[in-house]
Structure 1
Amino acid sequence: MQTMLSIIKSRPFNPLFRFISLLPTATTTPHSFSTSPSKTPLQNQFETWINHLKPGFTPSDVHRALQAQSDPDLSLDIFRWTAQQRNYTHTHLTYLTVIKQLIAGRRYRQAETLIHEVIAGACDPSVELYNAVIRFCCGRKFLFSLAFDVYKKMLRSEDSKPTLETYSLLFNSLLRRFNKLNVCYVYLHSVRSMTKQMKANGVIPDTFVLNMIIKAYSKCLELDEAIKVFRDMGLYGCEPNAYSYGYIAKGLCEKGRVNQGFKFFVEMRDKGFVPSASTYVIIVCSLAMNRRFEDAIEVLFDMLENSKSPDHLTYKTVLEGLCREGRADGAFDLLDECRKRDVNMNEKMYKALLRELHYICREGE
């Protein structure tokens, strides 16, 4: 026969009942707790804050009590205890406070539980609360769809419509999933829908949001739509920056529209914008593969002047292209010049490129 102790040990521990013995019974009041010295410091803190809450406390009182806590577990216990009291209901402010504390304390599972309560309508709507929930969900891989549930709730709301921050968070989260071309097309529909909804709600995008839309279209090689957004930036009081030009220049080159992509690159440089290393690489390789070696070399040197080093494949594309065009001497000279300019070209890379050049030259003999 099992002893009572073995039965108790076999039961799983539920952290929600840590302070069950502290909750007031029907014959006690919040101020009738004893201060037994055998209680833990956390239990004493819980009792102290409960005693601070006077009968008939309001959400503002609870908000102040929650803000004063440095322990997220204690905050959650206070939050749960107050929710059980008669004639009291939590507001968006108390939910927002405790959710932020749980996230800061890495209590993600508990935060997710409260988020589900918010979505279910446990408190009054609030833009700040909804955006905080979306920010958390966008940062968690398996809560991605939950962020859009909150967004849909905002669309249906009368007083808590999506804001620019909402769209920034959602667009940014979507773009992080644009890692493969076939996946891009799946999410591009969402980008289009949100862009239309953003305009319908009267939200004016900033440069950051417009750049993400441009990037989405460029990643999916929908360059005409990307260029249209680029041209319309001035209508929203925004100016294109290095990212705006870079996304389109890369997309055009990947699409095979190298001449147009190079024009965007030149315009970007004329305005003093410095492209990213990946933009430089795409431009150099595209020009070299189209046998525009002078332009490719010029961009290559510009890349080095801006302290951005080409990778092995970029060098190889230009050098081998020169060799196959019968310009082997020029290829060797270029390699030596790049070795002088590129501080990151180590001996191993130099020798590997040199061997490859000799091999290509022997093939052409």
Structure 2
Amino acid sequence: MTTLLRRLLRAAPAPAPASLSSHLPFSTRSRRTPHRFRRSRRGANPAPPSPDAVSAAIASLPSRLTPPVLASFLANTSDARLLLPLLTHSLHLPAFRPDPAPFLVAIKRLATADLYADFDRTCALSFSLLPSLSSPGPLLRNALYFYCQFGRLGKAFHVYTLMRASADPAARPSADTYHALFTALLSRGRGDTLIHYMYMDNVSALFKQMLEEGIPPDTRTLNVLIRGYAQSLHLNDALRLFHQMRPLYGCEPDAFTYSYLVHGLSAQSRTRNARELFEEMRGNGLLPTEPACNAFVGALAMAGEAGDAERVMWEMARAGRVVDDITRRALVEELSRAGKREDADRLAREMEQKGIVSARELRALLSSIRDDGDDSLDVDDSGRSTW
């Protein structure tokens, strides 16, 4: 296991002893703003509910409070900020026995409401009571998933260690657990190849641990690894894993599998390999993603294979995949640079006739293929050249 992964596994503190103390073991401060729950966290944290609101909510609790009743009550409480005070109050009641169900309702609602501080405290409180909770699997799985969505990798790996140490076999890590961790690791750095390169070592170490624990990967999990290898420019590793999918893991590649590979190979100008996989994908009746289409058509054009690029572009357009404006411009300009100005002009006009480009974009395309110093080109408002 790599050094970075060891640090992540040690990042979160150990669970606190079973108590109802208001001092919880996790800090709620953040150094990163996750992409999924970013909107409301840009501003100030929401104000806590007023003491009167908390008192009124507690007073409305049913007299015979059982975990299923409390879970239903929390699910129907309109203000999500009241969930943690209601949970804490209920756990202080002498006759109430802790159960995962109310915690599960609370963490789902708090995460969905983007109330990270309350979500974090609720998770910490539930972790401190793990020895007394039966069937904690769903609770731990959801906590790990939402920590990944919030971008808190240290907290997510802490939950992962709790899952591995759980006495309940149903709470142990599953393929979904590893998929969430892989995705969270590879979401760091967005499109930065160097950061993907760094985190792929950790993903590879986790994948080995997954296999050692006897958890068979599925296509979705293998796709995350292939995407990570492709984004970090480890295309040979991505291809090796692709060729192992059927014989070693019994998984069928899908459209995303091929698209990640075609996109990565095209980015490295390995058009021959990209073409082989593209044709295999189409032969299997699979449709590439739009980024893969853009990358493949652009790579063919840049490699001087403008005819094939045009053919693929029209094939994808008929299938509902229209390449973006950057790719269209690159194809037209490459035709012009290759001395095929008439073909470039024809292609630009054909795209306008078929509704792929607007009259304004047609004017820009025709202008881009104009010879240096040629000021005779003019296009009217309908997109027709007047030269």
* TM-score category, normalised to shorter length: 0.7 to 0.9
Greater radius of gyration (CA): 1
Query: Of the candidates 148, 164, 172, which is equivalent to residue 138 of structure 1?
Result: 148
> After superposition, where does 1:90-169 map in structure 2 within 5 Å?
90-104=98-112, 106-120=114-128, 122-123=130-131, 124=133, 126-141=136-151, 143-159=152-168, 160-169=171-180
- Cα shift at 1:275: 1.1
Q: Deviations over 1:43-83 (max 9, x none)?
A: 46633535324xxxxxxx23422323411455433421232
Q: For the residues of structure 1 that align with 2:141 and 2:206, how far apart are their CA atoms?
A: 16
Q: For the residues of structure 1 that align with 2:282 and 2:113, how far apart are their CA atoms?
A: 45
Matched-pair contact (CA < 8 Å) for 1:287–1:293: yes
Aligned to 2:359: 347
Matched, 1:18 2:51: yes
Q: For the residues of structure 2 that align with 1:224 and 1:121, how far apart are their CA atoms?
A: 46
- The alpha-carbon distance between structure 1 residues 78 and 288, as it changes in their structure 2 partners (threshold 3 A), is closer
Q: For the residues of structure 2 that align with 1:305 and 1:81, how far apart are their CA atoms?
A: 61
Matched-pair contact (CA < 8 Å) for 2:67–2:101: no
- The alpha-carbon distance between structure 1 residues 186 and 87, as it changes in their structure 2 partners (threshold 3 A), is farther
> After superposition, where does 1:300-319 map in structure 2 within 5 Å?
300-319=313-332
Matched-pair contact (CA < 8 Å) for 1:230–1:240: yes
- The alpha-carbon distance between structure 1 residues 164 and 112, as it changes in their structure 2 partners (threshold 3 A), is same
Comparing 311-320 with 78-87, greater Cα deviation is found at 78-87
Matched-pair contact (CA < 8 Å) for 2:238–2:261: yes
Aligned to 2:21: none
Q: Deviations over 1:100-141 (max 9, x none)?
A: 343455543222112123445555472211111012112213
Q: For the residues of structure 2 that align with 1:121 and 1:44, how far apart are their CA atoms?
A: 27
Letter in 2 for 1:222: H
Q: For the residues of structure 2 that align with 1:87 and 1:16, how far apart are their CA atoms?
A: 26
Which structure carries more helix by proportion? 1
Matched-pair contact (CA < 8 Å) for 1:214–1:229: yes
- Secondary structure at 1:233's aligned position in 2? helix
Q: For the residues of structure 2 that align with 1:290 and 1:217, how far apart are their CA atoms?
A: 23
Comparing 80-89 with 271-280, greater Cα deviation is found at 80-89
Identity %: 26
Aligned residues: 320
Q: For the residues of structure 2 that align with 1:212 and 1:242, how far apart are their CA atoms?
A: 13
Gap runs ≥5 in structure 1: 1-13, 20-39, 54-60
> After superposition, where does 1:177-192 map in structure 2 within 5 Å?
177=188, 178-192=190-204
Q: For the residues of structure 2 that align with 1:51 and 1:121, how far apart are their CA atoms?
A: 23
Q: For the residues of structure 1 that align with 2:277 and 2:69, how far apart are their CA atoms?
A: 54
Aligned to 2:297: 284
Letter in 2 for 1:335: A
Letter in 2 for 1:97: V
Q: For the residues of structure 1 that align with 2:109 and 2:340, how far apart are their CA atoms?
A: 65
Aligned to 2:87: 79
Matched-pair contact (CA < 8 Å) for 1:242–1:275: yes
Q: For the residues of structure 1 that align with 2:369 and 2:363, how far apart are their CA atoms?
A: 10
Query: Of the candidates 249, 262, 265, which is equivalent to residue 262 of structure 2?
Result: 249
Aligned to 2:312: 299
- Cα shift at 1:157: 3.1
Gap runs ≥5 in structure 2: 1-46, 376-387
Matched-pair contact (CA < 8 Å) for 1:63–1:97: no
Matched, 1:240 2:253: yes
- The alpha-carbon distance between structure 1 residues 263 and 105, as it changes in their structure 2 partners (threshold 3 A), is closer
Q: Which has the higher contact order (CA 8 A, sep 6+)?
A: 2
RMSD after superposition: 2.7
- The alpha-carbon distance between structure 1 residues 44 and 258, as it changes in their structure 2 partners (threshold 3 A), is closer
- Cα shift at 1:17: 9.0
Letter in 2 for 1:137: Y
- Cα shift at 1:362: 5.1
Letter in 2 for 1:64: V
Matched, 1:219 2:237: no
- Secondary structure at 1:49's aligned position in 2? coil
Aligned to 1:262: 275
- Cα shift at 1:326: 1.9
- Cα shift at 1:217: 0.6
